[in-house]
Chain A
Amino acid sequence: MHFVFKTDYAQDLQLFKHSGQTFWYGTLAVALAIVPWLLSPYFVSQLTFVLIYSIVALGLMLLSGFTGQVSLGHAAFLAVGAYTEGVLAAKGWPFPFSMAVGALTAGIVGAIVGTPALRVKGIYLAIATMAFNIIVEEVLARWESMTGGNAGLQVGPLAMFGWRVQDERAMYYVALVVTALVTLGVVNLLRSPTGRAFVAVRDSEISAASMGINLALCKLTSFVLSAAITGIAGALYAHRLRIITPDQFTVLQSIEMLMMVVIGGLGSIHGAFFGAAFVIILPQLIAVAKDYLPPAIGQATGLQPALFGLILVGFILFEPLGLYGRWVKTRTFFQLFPFYRRGMFRRRKAFMKSERLR
């Protein structure tokens, strides 16, 4: 176990707390850089998906995990980013610019959603975001001149300044760079006053206001940033899927995004990545396991939703801190061996504290 003796305020601010962390993250970076040369294109494409979903998860994590605002409609922002990218790419815009515009548009839409959302909390916010998602989906389906309606929009390969992405490997590297930048931005935000303000708003709004935090502005900022990040993911998503249709951005999609951050570990950066990996890996595992199950179960169309639901319920009942929480507990177990105590991470409350009066 590493004990960090701090002698300098700057040590508080470092991203990597001690040499051990630097080593492991460094190794991870190297591994991510060379992986496309070691795996088949199929696996590389799956990894690209994991990266894109990680960005999505980071966006939602910022809003729901760190600022405590529930959103059941984040697929709408993904859609805005994807469609903007599709339309602009067709017009020949280079990727960095079209992605930036996609993020900006998604951010503006986030502001439109966020402004009335400021006044409502909890379940009302969830329903408002859900309603909003459904409306956006309908608008995309009806606005045929721009979006191609229900038939969908074709999106060409990612292109910028004469270079085109032709294979999985190139797409992977683009996604990797974008993911790294987004992650760095979010981490920087969280160690700055704005990030702390988000957490304050999540934990106690009245207290945050009395400390000088402008609640409305703070929540709006979180909404806009979260939407913009999801929009960035949407731009990559469009190029990955090649054809985007409104029914890829339904409330079910939004729910899956929420599942991702909850299973991954609400309120942590790592959770976004764990959740994204989980959501991509599970269908693969199901596809493999299908053949070993009796036909009534294995061939049922409902197998995937049922398993997702089961795992989600399981996590909330037995591992509320998510995959990241389980990771921390396992790591602590080995670090403290044999002094680890089972009650170390236990929650205290056993009765319900009313949230109507929050």
Chain B
Amino acid sequence: MQVLQVIVSGISQGCIYGLIALGFVLIYKATETVNFAQGELMMLGAFVGLTATSFLGLPYLAAVAAALLVMALFGFVLERAVVDPILGQPAFAVIMVTIGVGFIARGVVTMIPGWGTDTHVLEAPFRGEILHVGGLVVAAEHLVIIAATLLLVATLYAFFRFSRVGIAMQATSQNQLAAYYMGIPVRRLNGLIWAISAAVAALAGLLLAPLSFVHVNMGFIGLKAFPAAVVGGFGSLPGAIVGGITIGVVEAFSGVYLPEGFKDVAAYVVVLIMLVVKPTGLFGETMRKKV
């Protein structure tokens, strides 16, 4: 019984990692850049949601919608302002830029009145509720996280598989120059990808907030999403979720059955093992350069 309990909480925590990792992988697949500010986007999303509910008094779902939209817009603007100009520079440059953006986000949040460095509570209708499912005692937050993740993954799958925009995005990710030649508006699509990715991050933030509260450093959890993305395979969307869940479950078990301190490093030990055994991850693809 306790094992199942641990598994459920591990899966739900893993879904959060997975959602953030999903955001990374979206951007990586499209533009081969890694967004080190993904955790901060999550944090901003949570703060926007907080502002919408606590300060503006909007009902929960409206606040969620507002947060998703605002962050999508922010992601689009971010891509245009900061990522687009450095197109053509090595990937290293984009990593550094996004790290910089993360720093700016964290710094600026402390300056905004009402946000600052305090820890805030996000009022969600399901906060604190406990459900009894087949003998298990499960917090409602966990179930909502898992359900929302599944819904999102299904939506994105359909989007990339069946919509014109989704297919165009796949094209730009595989060969950007050819996409240009085909008349695909590559730069606009890049902006759209970042918008979607930011919205996904915002969703992760809103789902995490009832569990961990809203504060300026909540984005550090984003660091654990990197192992999730690597374990799943950096070019794979389902991989991101699977990787996240793997890390979440391993972490949960380490917390219960291993001595103190292992829980914090479990994710990183897993990723190192993965990189030695199968660097491309569970679902990743091996690529070679043709000379």
Query: B-contacting residues of A (Cβ < 8 Å)?
Result: 64, 70, 116, 119-120, 122-124, 126-128, 130-132, 134-135, 138, 141-142, 206, 251, 255, 258-259, 262, 296-297, 300-313, 316-317, 320, 347, 349-358
Inter-chain contacts of A309 with B (CB < 8 A): 99-107
A59 to B267, CA, bound (A): 28
Inter-chain contacts of B91 with A (CB < 8 A): 122-123, 355
Q: Is the CB of B89 within 8 A of A347?
A: yes
Q: Which of A123, A258, A297, A307 has the most CB of B within 10 A?
A: A123
A116-B261 in contact given A135-B268, A308-B103 (Cβ < 8 Å): no
A21 to B139, CA, bound (A): 70
Q: Is the CB of B230 within 8 A of A124?
A: yes
A309 to B103, CA, bound (A): 5
Task: Indicate whether B65 reaches chain A with its CB closer than 8 angstroms.
Answer: no
| Binding-face segment, B10-18, B42-50, B80-88 | B80-88
Given contacts A316-B93, A349-B88, A352-B87, 4 further A-B contacts (CB under 8 A): A131-B227, A262-B96, A311-B100, A357-B289
Inter-chain contacts of B92 with A (CB < 8 A): 64, 70
Inter-chain contacts of A304 with B (CB < 8 A): 107
What are 18 A-B contacts with C-beta separation under 8 Å?
A120-B279, A124-B234, A126-B95, A138-B261, A142-B261, A297-B111, A301-B117, A309-B99, A309-B101, A309-B106, A312-B96, A312-B103, A313-B100, A313-B101, A316-B93, A347-B88, A355-B90, A357-B289
| Binding-face segment, B154-162, B203-211, B270-278 | B270-278
Q: Is the CB of A316 within 8 A of B86?
A: yes
Inter-chain contacts of A350 with B (CB < 8 A): 87-88
Contact of B34 among A123, A255, A300 (CB under 8 A): A123
Q: Is the CB of B176 within 8 A of A296?
A: no
Q: Is the interface of A mostly helix, strand, loop or mixed?
A: helix
Contact of A301 among B101, B110, B230, B235 (CB under 8 A): B110
A353 to B93, CA, bound (A): 13
B201-238 CB contacts (< 8 Å) to partner A? 216, 223, 226-227, 230, 234-235
Contact of B261 among A141, A308, A320 (CB under 8 A): A141
B241-291 CB contacts (< 8 Å) to partner A? 261, 264-265, 267-269, 271-272, 275-276, 279, 287-291
Q: Is the CB of A317 within 8 A of B223?
A: no
Inter-chain contacts of A126 with B (CB < 8 A): 34, 95
A262 to B176, CA, bound (A): 27
Inter-chain contacts of B32 with A (CB < 8 A): 352, 354-356
A130-B265 in contact given A116-B275, A312-B96 (Cβ < 8 Å): no
Inter-chain contacts of A138 with B (CB < 8 A): 261, 264-265
Closest to B269 in A: A135
Inter-chain contacts of B90 with A (CB < 8 A): 355
Inter-chain contacts of A301 with B (CB < 8 A): 110, 117
B233 to chain A, nearest CB (A): 11
Q: Which of A64, A126, A304, A306 has the most CB of B within 10 A?
A: A306
Task: Indicate whether B126 reaches chain A with its CB closer than 8 angstroms.
Answer: no
Question: How many residues does chain B have at the interface if contact means C-beta atoms less than 8 Å apart?
Answer: 60
A304 to B107, CA, bound (A): 7
A304 to B275, CA, bound (A): 35
Inter-chain contacts of B113 with A (CB < 8 A): 296
Q: Is the CB of B86 within 8 A of A317?
A: yes
Inter-chain contacts of B96 with A (CB < 8 A): 258-259, 262, 312, 316
B52 to chain A, nearest CB (A): 22
Inter-chain contacts of A127 with B (CB < 8 A): 226-227, 230, 271, 275
Which 4 A-B pairs rank lowest in CB-CB distance, beginning with the nearest?
Answer: A306-B107, A309-B103, A302-B110, A302-B107
Q: Is the CB of B97 within 8 A of A312?
A: yes
B289 to chain A, nearest CB (A): 4
Q: Is the CB of A312 within 8 A of B100?
A: yes
Task: Indicate whether B38 reaches chain A with its CB closer than 8 angstroms.
Answer: no
Inter-chain contacts of B291 with A (CB < 8 A): 206
Task: Indicate whether B109 reaches chain A with its CB closer than 8 angstroms.
Answer: yes
Closest to A205 in B: B289
Q: Is the CB of A302 within 8 A of B109?
A: yes
Q: Is the CB of B265 within 8 A of A135?
A: yes
B255 to chain A, nearest CB (A): 14
Inter-chain contacts of B290 with A (CB < 8 A): 357
A86 to B116, CA, bound (A): 38
A206 to B290, CA, bound (A): 10
Contact of A206 among B31, B89, B289 (CB under 8 A): B289
A130 to B267, CA, bound (A): 12
Q: Is the CB of B107 within 8 A of A305?
A: yes
Q: Is the CB of B268 within 8 A of A134?
A: yes
Inter-chain contacts of B275 with A (CB < 8 A): 116, 119-120, 124, 127-128
A131-B272 in contact given A123-B95, A306-B107, A352-B31 (Cβ < 8 Å): yes
Q: Is the CB of B107 within 8 A of A356?
A: no
A349 to B88, CA, bound (A): 5
Task: Indicate whether B61 reaches chain A with its CB closer than 8 angstroms.
Answer: no
Inter-chain contacts of B121 with A (CB < 8 A): none
A302-B97 in contact given A122-B91, A135-B268, A206-B289 (Cβ < 8 Å): no
B132-180 CB contacts (< 8 Å) to partner A? 175-177, 180
